[in-house]
Amino acid sequence: MAKQFLDKVAFRPMEIMDLPQIEKVEKNSFSTPWPSKAFYDELMFNQFAYYTVVTYEGNVIGYCGFWLILDEAHITNIAIHPDYRGQGIGEATLNYVMDFAQKMGADKMTLEVRVSNHVAQTLYKKLGFVQQGLRKGYYTDNKEDALIMWVTLNEKEQQ
């Protein structure tokens, strides 16, 4: 990614006003996107939820959310709008969220990823995630299995 492009990418907490743009990212990223109400409920009612938006020149182009329960952060979802993929933004986003989760007290982080999503798996492995299990039929749209991946956050610092 060109440094000048990356300099225009920023991260901040998700707000209710972001939901229309988040909905666009969702619809362009997933076959079964979360409805805006799900994000609204996460922001308003889930004391364990933390959501970060990714902006480029002020426009929301992606996001990542996690739940922090005790010392474990569970990524709920992460998406970058297809127009901005392949430029290192997903990696920058995940690095930002991993650092933020650690500052909030997380020692470990986990996520599920489709067995067919090799691009995401490669990114997760690059950042230290390792496969630790399988959830059979996890995805409701096609009953695809999900790999369960984990990373110990303080080990990330040593990479």
Catalytic residue among 50, 91, 112, 144: 112
Catalytic residue among 124, 138, 139, 155: 124
- β-sheet bridge partners, residue 70: none
Q: Among candidates 115, 154, 144, 107, which has minimal Cα distance to 131? A: 115
Long-range contacts of 75-78 (CB under 8 A, 24+ apart): 75/109, 75/110, 75/111, 76/42, 76/49, 77/34, 78/111
Residue 138 among the catalytic residues: no
d(CA 46, CA 39): 10
d(CA 22, CA 35): 10
Residue 124 among the catalytic residues: yes
Annotated catalytic sites, by residue?
112, 124
